[in-house]
């Protein structure tokens, strides 16, 4: 069945976060004005996690990848309105908070923090799902 969509869908191409050739998912899609991301990890091109075993540095690496993909989609970090952050140790949530402070301003995106037992790659400590809208700018206050 071929169903035509009236909403434009674009797969984001980002040199810094390239699509994996045999992947069965998209890293980032723009659907209308919405930008959605597959779970973003700190996995580097060499296979090891950026930031070693620092949860803060791995989280910052995730946010950098999200920023690069969002910019490739024509947006910026202020467009992010929701984050779902999965960590292997919720007792280290202060490290996630410090990473958020490095990347977001006075109106922070809504966020959910979940503890998980592990990821597909055991050296990863965090994975981030992100949702953005190109018409939203949390950096501009309506006050």
Domain at 121, CATH number: 3.30.1330.40
pLDDT tens, position by position, 58-85: 999 999 999 999 999 999 999 999 999 9
The span from the CA of 59 to the CA of 98, in Å, is 9
Residue 72 lies in a domain: yes
In order, the DSSP letters of 80-113 are EEEEEEEES-GGGHHHHHHHHHHH--SSPPEEEE
For the chain, the domain total comes to 1
Paired residues of 85 in beta bridges: 113, 128
140: in domain: no
pLDDT digits (tens, 9 = 90+) for 17-26: 988 888 899 9
Q: Could you give the angle at which helices 55-72 and 93-103 cross, rounded to 10 degrees?
A: 40
What is the domain extent for residue 96? 26-133
143 lies in some domain? no
């Amino acid at each position: 069945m071929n169903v035509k969509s009236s909403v434009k869908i674009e797969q984001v191409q980002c040199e810094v976060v390239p699509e994996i050739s045999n992947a069965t998912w998209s890293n980032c899609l723009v659907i209308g004005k919405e930008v959605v991301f597959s779970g973003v990890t700190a996995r580097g091109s060499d296979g090891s996690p950026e930031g070693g075993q620092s949860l803060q540095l791995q989280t910052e690496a995730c946010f950098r990848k999200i920023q690069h993909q969002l910019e490739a989609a024509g947006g910026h970090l202020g467009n992010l309105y929701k984050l779902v952050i999965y960590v292997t140790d919720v007792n280290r949530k202060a490290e996630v908070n410090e990473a958020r402070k490095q990347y977001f301003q006075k109106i922070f995106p809504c966020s959910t923090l979940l503890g998980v037992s592990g990821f597909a790659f055991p050296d990863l400590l965090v994975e981030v799902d992100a949702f953005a809208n190109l018409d939203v700018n949390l950096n501009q206050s309506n006050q």
